[in-house]
Structure 1
């Protein structure tokens, strides 16, 4: 397809997908500000791809420049997100055709989908269907995930801030445990996100170096959980140090391949709903070793902690949003702006374009070279990779009440033109 003229009619649709991050709205700000600079109106789908299917669109031109700028420091998903996976074109063609109908009805010529692996796949399929149906649409996947598991890109916007939050939380909680260990808690267990990839768990390792520094044990989903080895490591650490900090990924499995925290339900993507691995481990420590314990499940706090965001992460999130618009306006299709690392120290990076078919439905696991031989820590190579991603602070404006001044958009709806569609 030939690039459209900048002055020609056409709108851009932006949507957020899946679990949000502390910096996903920085990406939204990058998209909207870059599009405005080129005279392109941006619509946003309310609650992700469901908003597009329902023709529930938001006119971002109704927002002031200052409100859009404030998105750069506001967590959550400004336009709403959803966990809704579009199935194959063959089995759910009606949904894809509905999307094309909505795009056509509102003269949307550029679709930017801000999400992870499944979202990259959706953007790719819509681009393919657009060609098949003769509709001039360019689809750009925009990277976002706290799990850092997207292929091709060096890191994922959203991960650096979760990594910083996890490392800081591990350090602070460990100082607390150390001060109480003589008469109280001997073992502290922090459960972190990461169903299949242990990037967040690995980030906890930045809290300290050396055998006696926390976290003393990291449990990765890439390694099979060995109960005997785990208990032996806890016991040896407590006897040597006086206490033990454990960081466990929610996705650790036993030798039979079962999640330790399997809750028996599944989400919209077909993923098992995990019920909490920390209490399972805590009960094991109590039963087998008799130690007093505490455990914590930060859950949403990990991905919403904008007050502790990484400057590197915030800058990268904004940059991929702007780059996505540049690629769309240049006529690129079925691509994603990805981050390429140029150097570790000092850390240097750039944005480049990568094809969606190299990213969609692929999962980047933690390399085995990043895990120590005993399986309970991170290596020097992991530190070199992780350390730059948590560097710098991204300060917030605070109000007189002592709370951050976050923005809440008006999110004025666009008038519908089509009949309702049931999803």
Structure 2
């Protein structure tokens, strides 16, 4: 039996399958008789010494996490600065780790979380503290470097493609006397992966969605208006899917909400669909409807991709294996090994090649005119949304999700002022 405690924390926006990763982490560690603590609200819980004893949860509850969306232990958007600028916080983390005999730290998040795990591993080495830090991939934006795809993306992609296809059928039915243009806003600050996934809803110039707008291509309003008008005149209606992060040629966000920046340094975005809808109505005179699915994209566990669920579980189990094997500053990443049929495996990759790097849509995935996806993109995306993994439903017709007890561990250190 390995000696020590494993600490697991969730970071950033949660996904439909992040709890499946947590479930795999806890079950894998229990099988090795390793105690697992979870930080309440991510890295904040570690800094505040607000830790949860997962051993107090029955195995049935831990298993039920695999079909429960949200973040079972809470998450947060907090990015630690450099080791020099946030030295006190990093040293506090080590104090908490020492106090609870934490020898393995698993941080489940995206680019910034990989950076934090990497810095913690370096500080532990500086202080000669035996600690294995493993980043665990998660993000609906699919923008992590190295990994073929990110757990969380496949389910959000499936939700997007399904929602756009269904909405398009509604628009088509009403277009003769009602809505001519429908605008759907997809998450994607700098990378258009979710907007690209919407392209799976149709195939061919006349099938919705007709126009996709990507952050990777500058937004030209006049050209966009021309494409909308041409589509309506040809098809009878036009379905548009826009990434929230589309920019004009000068680099400005089309929908900067004016809310400043969050702790990750990200501009607060919002309203690109409503903005485009208003502009189309004013410029072209069409009746327009729009949708902002927002959190629905990442929380829709009822329409999760089976592939995504399997990958979320696999990276959680692999993270425990890597940590207990003494692997440090690594992340379990997904490697595509076959296309027909689709095959994949999990392999370790150094955090130094992932931290603070961003994977955008390859040029070869975007149609030459900039408003759609290519066959190459379709071959990449389609396997990621395959398969159904519905949660169990109760007699009330609603999914049966689990709520953990989240019993706190007794604190051993003085309060820490953030």
> Normalization by structure 2: what TM-score?
0.99
Counterpart-to-counterpart distance in 2, 1:162 and 1:184: 29
* Structure 2 match to 1:24: 18
Contact 2:2 2:34 in 1 (8 A): no
Match of 2:47 among 46, 53, 74: 53
Match status 1:379 vs 2:371: no
Counterpart-to-counterpart distance in 1, 2:63 and 2:157: 25
* Structure 1 match to 2:4: 10
* Structure 1 match to 2:412: 417
Match status 1:292 vs 2:287: yes
Match of 1:195 among 181, 186, 189: 189
Deviation at 1:275, TM superposition (A): 2.5
* Structure 2 match to 1:331: 326
* Structure 2 match to 1:80: 74
Match of 1:349 among 328, 340, 344: 344
1:244-259 alignment, distance < 5 Å: 244-259=238-253
Counterpart-to-counterpart distance in 2, 1:353 and 1:189: 40
* Gap regions ≥5 residues in structure 1: 1-6
* Structure 1 match to 2:394: 399
Deviation at 1:256, TM superposition (A): 1.6
Match status 1:283 vs 2:278: yes
* Structure 2 match to 1:365: 360
Match of 2:57 among 59, 63, 85: 63
SS, match of residue 125 in structure 1: helix
Match status 1:114 vs 2:108: yes
1:25-44 alignment, distance < 5 Å: 25-44=19-38
Counterpart-to-counterpart distance in 2, 1:399 and 1:283: 42
Deviation at 1:16, TM superposition (A): 0.2
Contact 2:319 2:331 in 1 (8 A): yes
Match of 2:163 among 164, 169, 178: 169
Match status 1:320 vs 2:315: yes
Match of 1:213 among 207, 223, 247: 207
CA RMSD of aligned residues (A): 0.5
Match status 1:182 vs 2:190: no
Deviation at 1:8, TM superposition (A): 4.2
Counterpart-to-counterpart distance in 2, 1:379 and 1:8: 49
> Normalization by structure 1: what TM-score?
0.98
Counterpart-to-counterpart distance in 1, 2:105 and 2:51: 13
SS, match of residue 350 in structure 1: strand
SS, match of residue 164 in structure 1: helix
Deviation at 1:138, TM superposition (A): 0.4
Deviation at 1:134, TM superposition (A): 1.3
Contact 2:301 2:390 in 1 (8 A): no
369-378 or 263-272, larger mean C-alpha shift: 263-272
Deviation at 1:267, TM superposition (A): 1.2
What do the CA deviations read for 1:10-51 (whole angstroms, capped 9, x no partner)? Answer: 000000000000000000001000000000000000000000
* Structure 2 match to 1:160: 154
SS, match of residue 352 in structure 1: strand
